[in-house]
Structure 1
Amino acid sequence: MIIIRGFHPKQMTMEDKKMTPSHEHHILIVDDEVNIANALKRIFRNRGYRIHTALNGAEGLVCLEANKESISLIISDQRMPGMSGSEFLEQAKRIRPEIIRILLTGYSDVAAIIDAVNRGEIHRFFTKPWNDEQLLAQVEQALEQYELKKENQRLQDLVKNQNKQLYELGIKQKNIIDAKTQELEKKNQALNKSFMSTIRLLVTFVDVINPSLGSYIKQTAELAKRVARDCNVQGDALRDIEIAGLLHDVGLLGLPVELISKDESEMTEGEAKFFREHVTISLFLIQSVEKLKPASDTVLYHHEHYDGSGAPNGLKAEAIPLGARIIAAAGDYCKIVNLWPEDRNRIIKKVRLAFGPEMIKGIEDYPPAAMLGEIGERALLSGINTKYDPEIISKLIKYIREDRQHRESRITRQVRMHSLESGMVIAKDLRTMDGKLLLSKDIILSPYMIGVIMRLSRARLIEDTMEIVVQQEGS
């Protein structure tokens, strides 16, 4: 086993200190390929972490036993001689259940990922080759969450012990208990916020792999959340609907792009059967994580129809969970505006096949984006009381039209990258030359973001201008 010491925190720059955890963490890297292990060392050695390495699972277990009180996170390769990564992580979990477990695997190694989820209950997985910045960001976020859990447990133990003392002594110091309870609640809120940030980051990875699918998922979740709030859904229930919106179609990632863009009416019997399996895949992934389970019913039933003609159980009207009714409508609209073709002639052909010629009347000459938005609205209205809950459609269309008015009213301009200023708002998604998402629209630029954008622009990885929001009309 090898231990690599990073720089002392006092040697770091101010930027590095911002990302430094509250105490020194130890990371165990297990990989039979020395060059892979060395590459991972280079990523983490300057961040103040202590690095342990092992060349196989058995050696990794010995290292973990010797350092189980100090190691906070494990990064393990999946394919190793003697013991696979999932087998190693399963045994590591028995030694120290709370340790963060990350798996490195091949892009298409779905069976290995499922095995690791079931056996080792991994917290993250990364495909080879990985992106250094994304891996580092995930490790830092995971360690922040690890610290929050530790602090959460400490506070729970502290509150429990104090309650016992108060009971035994007959002392009723309610203000002290209330203060500790509020502190614990703040920690729980921070933990939930970190959890949601992790899910949103995973959806960003979807956006990198398939930009149209990523946009569809994010818009569905945002609209569903707004409609749910309008239906007086609050707290954890509101969060669960947003989670369901983000993950309900994550199973589509394994399907061909051309199949994802099809309406079910266009599919062959074999394609339709294959397509419907994405719900099972999405549900499996959600139910494998304890905190995601409350969203599973919404995912399971989002293909039910209001008149009882849907699947899987033929539920009708209010028997369908509210979240599922919302996502069914929001998802169908967002699929049309994000996943349908952008060519006018192909749109017209697709509409006639899916809905009939009446659906396109009066909008044949619209620009493609406007045409898709109008078709999406008409599809929702035509499905009232058959596919969709009429109350949900009323609220959903209200927000769709608000968003359209917002887009049409704001004034934007092109700004060269060297003229960017902190506080400017991005008007359109910032993507690399090959279409990978870097920053989503409506993000407020920070000095750090501007520095990264300038470097990417100089390297000709992105355009040299960006569309910036100047102001909202009338503001």
Structure 2
Amino acid sequence: MDLTSNQAPRDTGRILFVDDEQPILNSLMRLTRKQNFQCLFASSGAEALEIMQEQTVDLVVSDMRMPEMSGHEFLAEVKQRYPGTIRYLLTGQSDLESTVSALNDGGISRFIHKPWDDDKFIEALEEGLKVVRLERDNRRLMITTQEQALSLKRLNAELEDRVLARTKLLRRAMRQLETSYDAFVKTFSYFISHRAHLIKGQSQLVADLCFRVCDLLQVESTERKHIFYAALLHEVGKLALPDEVLGRSEVRLTGRDREEYRQYPVIGELALTSIKALEKAALLIRHQNEHFDGSGYPDRLVSQSIPLGSRILLACREFIGIQTEYMRATPLNAEEALNHLRKNAGIRYDPAVVEAIAQTQYTLNVSSLSPMERIVSYRDLAPGMILNRDLVTDRGILLISRGGILTQTMVDRLRRLGAEDNLKMPIHIIEPALEANP
């Protein structure tokens, strides 16, 4: 018999009373009628189990002596099927053995003796439901905590993925930016070398030798990049000098011309300082004529106070320069140039840099200072080649201007045009003297 004493909300708790005596059930119904919890009633253990299959019960209060299924048997079954349900034993007999069996098999939480004290009985029921609510709240809190932990884990994973993706994008952007600066510096260097009275290709040879020296001196890669840029652009300040000054060899400069000429490192620094990526290269260009003994210019720095890149640039630049008429009335060969550097080591040059140049076994091909034009077909194009003439189609459409440095994308495009018979004209290129990047 399933009797409901009230319709209190589910969250207040649900109690199932089980007793084979109807007067006892009626008494329990009257006792709990006005309480703030829902009550169910059953006259046997079997009926109670049927109710529990259909409804969640928080607390079971069962009589001990019942036919067919005793109280301790019923509570043992409840313990097995519904371990979260609190179990009370309602008994009026003094059979110690049955009570111990109910305690062991049914896992009861409390004994309530017949006849009971109404107030204490209600108090016991409320305490049992309070325990249920606490356990329920703990489970909810545990579930919420676990869900939040999983959510946080997912968010952290997503954040890591986003950071990783953005880091990859940033690195790709940095590589693209570095590639852009490399192309800019090489193109600018090529442009500088075409100024009247400057030696074409000289800056590239200087950069090549600086790169080899940096390898031997184990210069850190970032610093090597600045030295590479400085070597390619070390003559940028000379663009501001008049032709009559640049038209004479350095050894033939006198008086006022020499003073004007000596301003080119400072002019070069000023020209490049506004470009963030070239600030350090600009400083190396400023000090490229500082001598190891302090007799150089513009700041008369001494020894280790001169930036390493500037010391490398000076020695490499003059090793190449004294093999041309630009620095000497009678050029020296490579062996004589090296002897000159060794003779002035510790005075004009850093001894360590001089020995590094010697270890490169560098043989200068002076003819390479006037790069020879070469005519190639579209099949022979390669990244890094420099166009020596404007490249136009048969219809007169300009594809790439003179001085442009071919990239892989450009090469692929030109090969495609050539394969389609849209590019039949000869392509005039100059092979760059510098093929290795620091």
| TM-score normalised per structure 2 | 0.49
- Report the structure, 1 or 2, having the larger helix content: 1
TM-score by length of 1: 0.45
